[in-house]
Amino acid sequence: DGGITQSPKYLFRKEGQNVTLSCEQNLNHDAMYWYRQDPGQGLRLIYYSQIVNDFQKGDIAEGYSVSREKKESFPLTVTSAQKNPTAFYLCASRRAGGPYEQFFGPGTRLTVL
């Protein structure tokens, strides 16, 4: 079964703790993305990666970090420096060539207690 998986579905964190969200894809896509979705604010890009061992900041990268050691995996770490981490996080991937459709994971809802 091909696609993108994210885990966990729900995540609770205490203030001051770092937490890592998993994103895996078996679509052989080169590009991967992390978005944050908040009510009334749509999708905002956190980080993206076009190739293994390379990634770029999106519009709201502060307080987040990523790695891209494998083509299939693009984990996102929400650090204690992120001031308002409670949100719904979406991972996506896309092929290098056209068509340029993005495929999305089911999302992780992070709640900071």
Partner 1 sequence: AQRVTQPEKLLSVFKGAPVELKCNYSYSGSPELFWYVQYSRQRLQLLLRHISRESIKGFTADLNKGETSFHLKKPFAQEEDSAMYYCAPPGAGGTSYGKLTFGQGTILTVHP
Interface positions with partner 1 (CB under 8 A): 31, 33, 35, 40-43, 45, 48, 50, 56, 58-59, 90, 92, 94, 96, 98-102, 104-107
Residue with tokens 């900071």: 112
**Can you tell me the distance from the alpha carbon of 73 to that of 105, in angstroms, rounded to the nearest whole number?**
12
- As measured in angstroms, the least distance from the Cβ of 43 to partner 1 is 4
Rounded-to-integer distance, Cα 24 and Cα 73, Å? 5
**In angstroms, what CA-CA distances link 102 with 19, 64, 92, 106?**
25, 22, 6, 13
Distances (CA, A) of 38 to 11, 47, 77, 82: 16, 16, 18, 15
- Shortest distance (Å) from residue 16 CB to partner 1: 31
Give the dihedral sign, CA 103/32/109/4: positive
C-beta of 16 vs 99, nearer to partner 1: 99
Q: Which is nearer to partner 1, 75 or 107 (CB)?
A: 107
Nearer to partner 1, 15 or 93 (CB): 93
CB of 99 to partner 1, least distance (A): 7
Nearest distance, CB of residue 112 and partner 1, angstroms: 23
Nearer to partner 1, 34 or 85 (CB): 34
